């Protein structure tokens, strides 16, 4: 259940992602396995840290996602307070091929297809080269994630050491990036900012009509 093995990303070496109703989530340097659920008026989360033999189940009678995330963060901080951080071997330099991955990407695997027209704009990512690292960050704002090269278009997360970003071949989209549970397709900067402009124009016209 814990193995992500059915996607091209998993076959390319990705070590995190979805298994069978069981997926990975990061807290600082540690990788938990978890599953959650929600209904109107209730949210749940079950998570465990295999390496340490600890876990937790959280259930709240509210649909406040921010509250659930904060409770989970506090519990994980307590569970990992005395654990040694995993060693990360990140000495290998970026190759010329690695550096060619820099650019803009948009997600192509929405959790809900009806929201794809929003996600393809709001979820645009940019991969950049910083020294001997790749960084990935949302174009519309957010903390960057850093990766170090492992080899053959595989990159480890600089805090966990797990392979968390790979290049793979999608049967429909062609060359893509798998980053955690996201599948990212390369797009041009012109397309990215054209989409932003159209979205902004739509927002202005909608406001004027209202």
Sequence-ordered list of residues with C-beta below 8 angstroms from that of 185, at least 6 positions apart, any chain = 105, 106, 107, 108, 170, 173, 176
The pLDDT value recorded for residue 129 is 96
In percent, how much of the chain has pLDDT > 90?
Answer: 61
Rounded to an integer, what distance in angstroms lies between the CA atom of residue 108 and that of residue 115? 11
Q: Facing residues of 184 across strands? A: 107, 177
Burial classification of residue 180, based on how many CB atoms lie within 10 Å of its CB (0-12 exposed, 13-18 middle, 19 or more buried): buried
The pLDDT value recorded for residue 198 is 85
- Sorted by where each begins, the domain ranges of the chain are 8-79, 96-198
**Nearest C-alpha neighbor of 8 from the set 108, 81, 124, 80:** 108
Sequence-ordered list of residues with C-beta below 8 angstroms from that of 210, at least 6 positions apart, any chain = none
Cβ–Cβ under 8 Å, residues 90 and 148: yes
The pLDDT value recorded for residue 163 is 92
Q: Facing residues of 23 across strands? A: 18, 34
Cβ–Cβ under 8 Å, residues 181 and 166: no
Q: What angle do CA 128, 190, 12 make, to 5 degrees?
A: 45
Structure confidence by residue, pLDDT tens digits, 32-70: 999 999 999 999 999 999 989 999 999 999 999 999 999
**Nearest C-alpha neighbor of 13 from the set 206, 181, 192, 154:** 154
Structure confidence by residue, pLDDT tens digits, 102-153: 999 999 988 778 878 888 888 899 999 999 999 999 999 888 999 999 988 9
The pLDDT value recorded for residue 97 is 93
Rounded to an integer, what distance in angstroms lies between the CA atom of residue 190 and that of residue 83? 46
Half-sphere exposure of 13 (CA within 13 A, CB side): 16
Rounded to an integer, what distance in angstroms lies between the CA atom of residue 170 and that of residue 8? 7
pLDDT at 100 over 80: yes
- Give the pTM: 0.84
């Amino acid at each position: 259940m814990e193995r992500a093995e059915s996607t091209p990303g998993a076959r390319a070496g990705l070590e995190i992602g979805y298994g069978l109703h069981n997926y990975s989530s990061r807290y600082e340097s540690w990788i938990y396995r978890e599953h959650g659920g929600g209904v109107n008026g209730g949210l749940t989360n079950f998570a465990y840290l295999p390496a340490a033999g600890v876990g937790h189940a959280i259930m709240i009678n509210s649909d406040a996602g921010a509250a659930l995330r904060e409770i989970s963060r506090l519990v994980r901080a307590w569970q990992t307070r005395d654990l040694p951080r995993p060693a990360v071997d990140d000495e290998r330099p970026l190759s010329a091929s690695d550096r060619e991955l820099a650019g803009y990407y948009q997600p192509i695997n929405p959790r809900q297809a009806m929201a794809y027209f929003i996600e393809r704009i709001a979820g645009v990512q940019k991969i950049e080269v910083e020294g001997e690292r790749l960084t990935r960050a949302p174009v519309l704002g957010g903390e960057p994630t850093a990766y170090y090269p492992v080899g053959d278009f595989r990159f480890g997360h600089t805090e966990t050491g797990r392979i968390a970003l790979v290049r793979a071949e999608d049967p429909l989209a062609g060359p893509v990036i798998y980053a955690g549970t996201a599948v990212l397709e390369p797009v041009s900067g012109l397309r990215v900012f054209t989409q932003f402009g159209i979205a902004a124009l739509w927002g202005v016209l909608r406001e004027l009509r209202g």
